[in-house]
């Protein structure tokens, strides 16, 4: 009887799952599921691993808030501190440029330690750094320092983290899972412009920064605590409850070595196309608010149009994810990048009208929303997941440089010419080139065909 009582007590303890141990229980279950051999169906993958995509959806949204809202803060900062727009945008450039040398290092840390150990501290630090923008006192050096601190914190929650978590978890449904996670960025594009405008008008720009950090930072941290696990994290937690950890499946190790990646022509083409689209995508994202208001659109309608572009961005991500799982990814990426040129053309002053402005924001939003999804998926296809953190970390470094220079380029062009038409004229042919770079990348490697 005592033996039966001990067994019963052990069972009760084994199944007890309080707030402190809930994440371990869920990770253990996911570890058992992940040890099963694939291929499995897309629906089965989603049934097993949807919490990872959900954590990515919220987590990737957090660092996007600062970039998306920065254009709306420009007027308030200018009125209080009389800063030139190029110098206001330079803070965002500093934060983005930090990623250039350090993103591959963060990718290596992710490959070594797993996404959980990197992501949770990164989310907490990014939330605090975003709230710290409310402390700006009019000193440009302090403003640059605040952006530097933010840039360091955001390194650890950059797209590499979430793409690695999903690429190491999903196989048959990887493109759609990436698109769902990256839709967190589009959710920000929908919600943040009108929310930021309302917060500034009712609470002031300082309180607006603090509330944006709370609204987007705390939920992402809580959900990541319970849901953010990749194969490495699940194996580590499984070791605590068993004598042996589940081994990586053979397919999970497939991919290029670093030396092979350096010689890969498709990866260079993917990187170049992503660099171009991020350069002009970031420029239009940050400056879209003043572009619209100077075209005669009211501030309220400009915020609504920015949200409309966010809706189109969600559509672009989800549609691109669905299409790239079923058709040639390079072709889909080529068409999507070329669409950006069409949208920008419709904003050109000789052809601009209320109707073309609405169409332009929809097209730009659709294409802009899919750019990171295209790069992340094509990198996983042509590089595999063996060294995905390092390789995609290099991609993110290049895109971060472009994303940081884009807002600065837009600010310089405005300060020098008094308008944005020159930016529009340059962006049209460049985005067409970005589309051509992804056309006919070549047949998928063997590991990508197995996972498809």
Average pLDDT for 284-304: 84
Phi, psi angles (nearest 5°) of residue 255: 150, 180
CA–CA distance from 304 to each of 131, 195, 221, 292, 300 (Å)? 25, 10, 28, 11, 6
pLDDT given for residue 82 in this prediction:
82
Tell me the two tokens of residue 40.
């499995």
Tell me the two tokens of residue 348.
């050109």
pLDDT over 90, % of the chain: 35
Identify any residues that bridge with 255 across adjacent strands, giving them in sequence order.
Answer: 384
pLDDT given for residue 251 in this prediction:
44
Average pLDDT for 131-153: 91
pLDDT given for residue 46 in this prediction:
86
* pLDDT of 77 strictly over 90: no
Nearest alpha-carbon partner for 127 in 51, 183, 210, 190? 210
pTM confidence score = 0.74
* pLDDT of 34 strictly over 90: no
Average pLDDT for 123-136: 94
Please check whether residue 227 is in contact with residue 52, taking contact to mean a CB–CB distance below 8 angstroms: yes
Q: How confident is the model at residue 225 (pLDDT cuts 50, 70, 90)?
A: very high
Nearest alpha-carbon partner for 314 in 182, 175, 431, 170? 182
Average pLDDT for 5-19: 44
* Residue-wise pLDDT tens digits, 200-213: 999 999 999 999 99
| Domain spans of the chain, in order of start | 49-237+248-441
- Pick the more confident residue, 331 or 251: 331
Q: How far apart are CA 311 and CA 6, in angstroms?
A: 57
Architecture of the structural domain at 49-237+248-441: Up-down Bundle (1.20)
DSSP state letters, 215-270: HHHHHHHHHHHHH---HHHHHHHHHHHSSSPPPPPTGGG-B--HHHHHT-HHHHHH
* pLDDT of 35 strictly over 50: no
pLDDT given for residue 338 in this prediction:
94
pLDDT given for residue 359 in this prediction:
93
Tokens 């949200």, residue located: 307
Q: What is the mean pLDDT of the chain?
A: 82
CA–CA distance from 235 to each of 61, 113, 249, 289 (Å)? 27, 12, 12, 46
* Residue-wise pLDDT tens digits, 359-376: 999 999 899 888 888 999
With H, G, I as helix, E, B as strand and everything else as coil, classify residue 202.
Answer: helix
Average pLDDT for 6-17: 43
pLDDT given for residue 98 in this prediction:
84
pLDDT given for residue 234 in this prediction:
64
pLDDT given for residue 319 in this prediction:
92
pLDDT given for residue 38 in this prediction:
46
Q: How confident is the model at residue 238 (pLDDT cuts 50, 70, 90)?
A: low
Tell me the two tokens of residue 430.
């460049």
DSSP state letters, 48-86: HHHHHHHHHHHHHHHHHHHHHHHHHHHHHHHHHH---HH
pLDDT given for residue 448 in this prediction:
55
In sequence order, the 6+-apart residues with CB closer than 8 A to the CB of 164 are: 107, 110, 111, 115, 230, 388, 389, 392
pLDDT given for residue 49 in this prediction:
86
With H, G, I as helix, E, B as strand and everything else as coil, classify residue 384.
Answer: strand
pLDDT given for residue 44 in this prediction:
83
Which pairs with CB-CB distance under 8 Å and at least 24 residues apart come from 46-52?
46/173, 46/177, 49/169, 49/170, 49/177, 51/26, 51/226, 51/227, 52/165, 52/166, 52/169, 52/170, 52/177, 52/227, 52/228, 52/229, 52/230
In sequence order, the 6+-apart residues with CB closer than 8 A to the CB of 310 are: 186, 187, 188, 189, 190, 191, 193, 365, 369
Q: How far apart are CA 117 and CA 31, in angstroms?
A: 17
* Residue-wise pLDDT tens digits, 387-446: 888 899 889 888 877 877 888 888 898 888 888 889 999 999 999 999 999 998 988 887
């Amino acid at each position: 009887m005592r033996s039966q009582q001990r067994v019963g007590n052990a069972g009760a303890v084994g199944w007890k799952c309080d707030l402190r141990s809930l994440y371990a229980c869920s990770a253990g279950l996911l570890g058992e599921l992940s040890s099963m051999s694939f291929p499995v169906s897309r629906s089965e993958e989603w049934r097993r691993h949807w919490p990872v995509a959900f954590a990515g959806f919220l987590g990737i949204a957090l660092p996007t808030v600062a970039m998306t809202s920065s254009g709306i803060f420009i007027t308030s900062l200018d009125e209080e501190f009389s800063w030139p727009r190029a110098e206001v945008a330079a803070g965002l450039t500093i934060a983005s440029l930090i990623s250039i040398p350090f993103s591959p290092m963060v990718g290596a840390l992710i490959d070594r330690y797993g996404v959980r150990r990197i992501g949770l501290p990164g989310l907490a630090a990014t939330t605090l750094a975003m709230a710290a923008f409310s402390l700006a006192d009019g000193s440009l050096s302090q403003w640059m320092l605040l952006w530097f601190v933010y840039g360091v914190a955001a390194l650890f929650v950059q797209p590499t983290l979430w793409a690695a978590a999903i690429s190491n978890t999903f196989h048959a449904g990887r493109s759609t899972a990436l698109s769902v996670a990256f839709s967190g960025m589009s959710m920000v594009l929908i919600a943040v412009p009108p929310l930021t405008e309302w917060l500034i008008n009712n609470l002031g720009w300082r309180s607006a920064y603090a509330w944006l950090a709370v609204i987007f930072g705390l939920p992402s941290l809580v959900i990541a605590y319970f849901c953010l696990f990749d194969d490495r994290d699940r194996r580590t937690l499984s070791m605590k409850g068993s004598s042996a950890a589940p081994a990586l499946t053979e397919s999970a190790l497939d991919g290029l070595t670093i030396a092979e990646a350096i010689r890969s022509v498709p990866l260079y083409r993917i990187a170049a196309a992503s660099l171009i689209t991020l350069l002009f995508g970031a420029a239009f994202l940050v400056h879209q608010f003043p572009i619209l208001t100077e075209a005669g659109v009211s501030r309220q309608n400009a915020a609504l149009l920015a949200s409309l572009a966010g809706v189109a961005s969600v559509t672009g991500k989800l549609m691109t994810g669905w299409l790239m799982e079923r058709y040639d990814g390079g072709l889909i990426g080529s068409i999507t990048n070329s669409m950006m040129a069409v949208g920008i053309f419709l904003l050109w002053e000789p052809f601009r009208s209320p109707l073309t402005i609405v169409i332009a924001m929809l097209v730009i939003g659709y294409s802009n929303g899919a750019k990171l999804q295209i790069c992340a998926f094509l990198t996983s296809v042509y590089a595999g997941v063996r060294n995905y953190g390092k390789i995609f970390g290099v991609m993110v470094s290049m895109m971060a440089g472009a994303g940081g220079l884009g807002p600065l380029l837009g600010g310089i062009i405005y300060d020098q010419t008094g308008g944005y038409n020159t930016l529009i004229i340059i962006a049209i042919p460049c985005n067409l080139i970005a589309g051509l770079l992804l056309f006919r990348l070549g047949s998928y490697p063997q590991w990508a065909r197995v996972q498809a």
